[in-house]
């Protein structure tokens, strides 16, 4: 037990660190907001049973509870960002809600590819998306296929027309990816020419 009183008020929000045995209840990685501050004696006067509800489930003796009650220890109630509500004696809180922490959330991107032929292999495309995410964010992600809606059957003629239109779009669309590929090709050609010139100059100077 820390044995220290804390200066916490209703409305404070942030990261909370508790010590044993309450450290298994409060996840220090979640955002918690203080929603109530009440002394043990205040709770008893209102008809609550803080020993049975808060102390006893964590194996804290009744003698310790009575000591805390005599010392007018406060019970701090937090609500986690996930909705759970926890009440903790202030002596078991190691760090106050820290509003200076950096909040993290799990994020997913959903991209509709529209209708594509069942036999189309998009494994390379998925790998490129994963690589692009890594280049931007520095994290590896798993790209999964999600099929939705009812399948549609096209005739061979309709399929050929759709494929022709799709290939035309690919050819005519100068995307950043295509532009980068074109520039890489240009750089490779220029480097080859430079090497030829260097070889030519070297051979002529040595004559």
pLDDT tens digits for range 146-158: 888 877 788 888 8
List the alpha helices (DSSP H) in 27-120: 40-45, 50, 62-70
pTM: 0.54
Structurally, the chain folds into a number of domains equal to 1
Domain that holds residue 50: 13-98
Q: What is the mean pLDDT of the chain?
A: 84
- Residues 72-89 have a mean pLDDT of 92
Strands 13-18 and 74-80: unpaired
DSSP state of 207: -
Residue 42 banded pLDDT, cuts 50, 70, 90: very high
Residue 65 inside a domain? The answer is yes
| 35 and 78 Cβ atoms separated by less than 8 Å | yes
Residue 35 inside a domain? The answer is yes
Residue 107 inside a domain? The answer is no
How close are the terminal C-alpha atoms of the chain, in Å? 87
Residue 207 inside a domain? The answer is no
Task: Label residues 141-169 b or e (16+ Cβ within 10 Å = b).
Answer: eeeeeeeeeeeeeeeeeeeeeeeeeeeee
Residues written for the chain? 207
| 86 and 47 Cβ atoms separated by less than 8 Å | no
Residue 41 inside a domain? The answer is yes
Residue 199 inside a domain? The answer is no
Residue 161 inside a domain? The answer is no
Distance (Å, whole) CA 185 – CA 157: 36
Residue 61 inside a domain? The answer is yes
Picking from 181, 188, 171, the residue whose alpha carbon sits closest to that of residue 128 is 181
């Amino acid at each position: 037990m820390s044995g220290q009183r804390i200066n916490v008020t209703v409305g404070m929000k942030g990261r909370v660190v508790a010590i044993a045995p309450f450290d298994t209840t409060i996840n220090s990685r979640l955002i918690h907001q203080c929603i109530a501050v009440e002394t043990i004696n205040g709770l008893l006067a209102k008809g609550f049973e803080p020993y049975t509800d808060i102390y006893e489930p964590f194996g804290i003796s009744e003698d310790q509870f009575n000591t805390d009650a005599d010392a007018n220890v406060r019970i701090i109630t937090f609500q986690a960002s996930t909705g759970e509500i926890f009440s903790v004696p202030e002596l078991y809180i190691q760090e106050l809600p820290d509003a200076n922490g950096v909040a993290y959330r799990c994020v997913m991107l959903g991209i509709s590819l529209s209708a594509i032929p069942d036999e189309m292999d998009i494994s390379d495309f998925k790998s490129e998306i994963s690589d692009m995410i890594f280049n931007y964010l520095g994290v590896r992600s798993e790209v999964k296929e999600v099929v939705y809606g009812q399948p549609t059957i096209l005739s061979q003629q309709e399929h050929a027309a759709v494929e022709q239109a799709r290939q035309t779009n690919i050819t005519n669309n100068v995307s950043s990816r295509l532009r980068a590929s074109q520039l890489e090709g240009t750089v490779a050609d220029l480097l080859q020419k430079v090497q030829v010139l260097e070889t030519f100059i070297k051979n002529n100077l040595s004559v």
